[in-house]
Amino acid sequence: MRSDSDPLAERFWFSAEGRRLAGTLFPPFLLGRRWFSGKARGLEEVWVADAFLLGPREAGLRLLLLQVRFAAGETALFSLPIRLAGNLPPTGLVEGDRIGPLSASSPQCLWEATGDPLFGGALLDLLAEEKELLGPQGILRGRRGPLLDELDASGELPKDSRLLGREQSNSSLLFGNHLFFKLYRKIEGGPNPDAEIHERLSGVLRFPHVPRYGGRLDYEPQNGPPILLGLLTEAVPHRSDAWTLALAAATEWMQQAGEHRPEEPSSRPSWELLGRRTAEFHLAMAGPPDDPAFRPEPLRGEEIPLFFEGALGLLRRSFGMPDGPPEVPLGVEEERLAKLFPRIEARFRAILRLPANLLKIRIHGDYHLGQVLATEDDFVLIDFEGEPERSLAERRHKTLALRDVAGMVRSFHYAALAPIFLQGDTGEERSRRLAVADDWRRRETRRFLEGYFAAAGGAPFLPTAPAERGTLLDFFVLEKAVYEVGYERNNRPAWMQIPLRGIEELLEGSRQSEENGQS
Ligand SMILES: Nc1ncnc2c1ncn2[C@@H]1O[C@H](COP(=O)(O)OP(=O)(O)O)[C@@H](O)[C@H]1O
Ligand SMILES: O=P(O)(O)O[C@H]1O[C@H](CO)[C@@H](O[C@H]2O[C@H](CO)[C@@H](O)[C@H](O)[C@H]2O)[C@H](O)[C@H]1O
């Protein structure tokens, strides 16, 4: 086959035929992916920035780096493993993995290959052997960490891979029972907090409530800093993630309330323990000052207005209103957002009154119930990537620990509302269920906060006065809900109602401060 018509040839994707194929097949495919963050941005163009042949040529596997351009001109890079095969899904893949045929008459088809065991095998081989692959525009490099060394030494290196749930911002593979690999979808150059924090917590700090570090896959473009493409960690045996646990508890509470006076379901492990583990995580992050990337820093007075400006910028981006609320909103949804905009801005101003007598530390950055695994009697924290809608540099900034606490507070709100919003309840039934859900949310949030403040008590990253603590936590809870509106618009538009309702509730009164001002 001529190299300009063979999708496995080194330079195919840079030929006129390759560019045409990328422009035709990838945009509709990307728009249908849960992990494609950019659905509300107007996808203009897609092309291949680099391509690597994985495993033997006959396997037909390639790892593509796709450059995407949006309507406003900004670009983003995404990873996409592909496999060239026939018209039926290859082993491990499903119909939904079909990207499309090479041409209307071709018997050959491109498939999204993340779930393909051959892809998993090639990936683990890259890491375990610390291989270096050359592509037309850069290098793909695998590296192994202590856990991989140990498994290799004891002859326990797993061979088989299994794709985990597809309802994620990234994609994850499980290797045997021991190793967990996360393939990042939206990728960016520079140090990545997920790898950085896993390495530090499980290495120098020996923090027991995170998975151990196992290795990494990096892309080194000819021009620009290395980009983390994937991270290998310990696979933690767990009952479920805390999101599933919370959803089940909230649903049970609502069902019982329909029949008789609800009995308190007992969550195992308890949300109070989750609060404690969260505090211990923050105390570890505020720990030894050996590494400048992690050394705590005092918050300076002039930084307080920056929190306000940052939140305002986020509000503009999340609501898709770069110049503030439009005078004549275009539709019902825009009108709702435009009305909320000035009220949110006014609430954000409360932070300007706070004194700056705290320490800033590195935090989780995108802390919610889905970022915690529940074992039989404890919790393990995962996914230190930070909020995927923010730049990598921003996600590595030291900031106030209450931002994480606020993330979890929002998550209890999501868990309470998701069963109602996603089932489309209406009328009286809906109002009744909302009231019961609110009951559950308030009680469990309080438990989480009690656990947190009891363990983190007088830590120098927390305000000592309960009123200041309440104001700061309220600020971050509202900021997180604003972030979520943007995240849902771009990723899961049907879920946007949840943070919007959260914002409306927060703006309604002082209720939140009462809950948040734990002493
Ligand atoms: N170390 C691990 N061991 C076992 N399962 C894990 C591990 N880390 C994550 N998972 C599973 O993968 C899911 C998604 O992981 P996460 O890191 O949150 O990915 P994403 O960045 O896509 O949100 C988790 O909810 C959990 O079910
Ligand atoms: O898990 P990620 O790092 O990809 O985080 C992103 O996706 C989350 C959803 O998967 C999103 O979290 C929001 O939805 C959760 C329920 O699915 C809820 O528990 C969280 O409170 C809510 O923020 C997260 O915001 C986003 O960054």
Please indicate, yes or no, if residue 172 is contained in any of the structural domains: yes
**What confidence score (pLDDT) does residue 259 get?**
61
Same domain, 171 and 72: yes
C-alpha dihedral (385, 390, 392, 397), degrees to nearest 10 = -90
Tell me whether 0.90 is exceeded by the ipTM.
yes
Report which protein residue has its CA nearest ligand 1's atom 16: 383
Question: How far apart are alpha carbons 279 and 212 in whole angstroms?
Answer: 20
Report which protein residue has its CA nearest ligand 1's atom 12: 172
pTM for the model: 0.89
Residue 269: band (very low, low, confident or very high) from pLDDT cuts 50, 70, 90: confident
Question: How far apart are alpha carbons 202 and 9 in whole angstroms?
Answer: 41
Question: How far apart are alpha carbons 405 and 445 in whole angstroms?
Answer: 10
Position in ligand 2 atom list of the atom nearest CA 167: 10
**CB neighbours (10 Å) of residue 177?**
9
The answer to whether the CB of 414 falls within 8 A of the CB of 228 is no
Ligand 1: lining residues by beta carbon, under 6 Å:
164, 168-170, 172, 180, 182, 211, 233-236, 241, 370-371, 382-383, 385
Helix H, strand E, coil C: the string for 61-98 is: EEEEEEEEEECCCCEEEEEEEEEEECCCCCCCCCHHHE
pLDDT digit string, tens, across residues 124-159:
999 999 999 999 999 999 999 989 999 989 988 888
Whether 519 shows a pLDDT value over 50: the answer reads no
Same domain, 228 and 245: no
Ligand 1, pocket-test mutation among 182, 184, 382, 385, most atoms within 8 A of CB: 382
Is residue 421 within 6 Å of ligand 2 at its C-beta?
no
Same domain, 393 and 511: yes
Is residue 175 within 6 Å of ligand 2 at its C-beta?
no
Vertex 254, ends 251 and 260: CA angle to 5°? Answer: 140
Question: How far apart are alpha carbons 477 and 410 in whole angstroms?
Answer: 6
The answer to whether the CB of 70 falls within 8 A of the CB of 92 is no
Please indicate, yes or no, if residue 268 is contained in any of the structural domains: no
Same domain, 455 and 353: yes
Same domain, 213 and 123: yes
Length of the chain measured in residues: 519
Residue-averaged pLDDT of the chain: 91
The answer to whether the CB of 93 falls within 8 A of the CB of 116 is yes
Range of the domain at 28: 1-235
Is residue 502 within 6 Å of ligand 2 at its C-beta?
no
Position in ligand 1 atom list of the atom nearest CA 171: 22
Question: How far apart are alpha carbons 381 and 280 in whole angstroms?
Answer: 11
**What confidence score (pLDDT) does residue 261 get?**
57
Same domain, 428 and 316: yes
- Phi and psi dihedrals of 383, rounded to 5? 60, 80
Please indicate, yes or no, if residue 455 is contained in any of the structural domains: yes
Whether 509 shows a pLDDT value over 90: the answer reads no
376 burial type by CB count under 10 A (0-12 exposed, 13-18 middle, 19+ buried): exposed
**What confidence score (pLDDT) does residue 490 get?**
85
Please indicate, yes or no, if residue 264 is contained in any of the structural domains: no
pLDDT digit string, tens, across residues 86-114:
999 999 999 999 999 999 889 999 999 99
Check which CATH number belongs to the domain holding 322 and give it. 3.90.1200.10
Whether 371 shows a pLDDT value over 60: the answer reads yes
Percent of the chain residues topping a pLDDT of 70: 95
Same domain, 458 and 501: yes
When divided into structural domains, the chain yields a total of 2
Distance 432 CA to ligand 2 centre (A): 26
pLDDT digit string, tens, across residues 8-57:
787 899 999 999 999 999 999 999 998 998 888 899 999 999 999 998 88
Structure tokens at 199: 């390495």
**What confidence score (pLDDT) does residue 518 get?**
46
**CB neighbours (10 Å) of residue 418?**
18
Please indicate, yes or no, if residue 282 is contained in any of the structural domains: yes
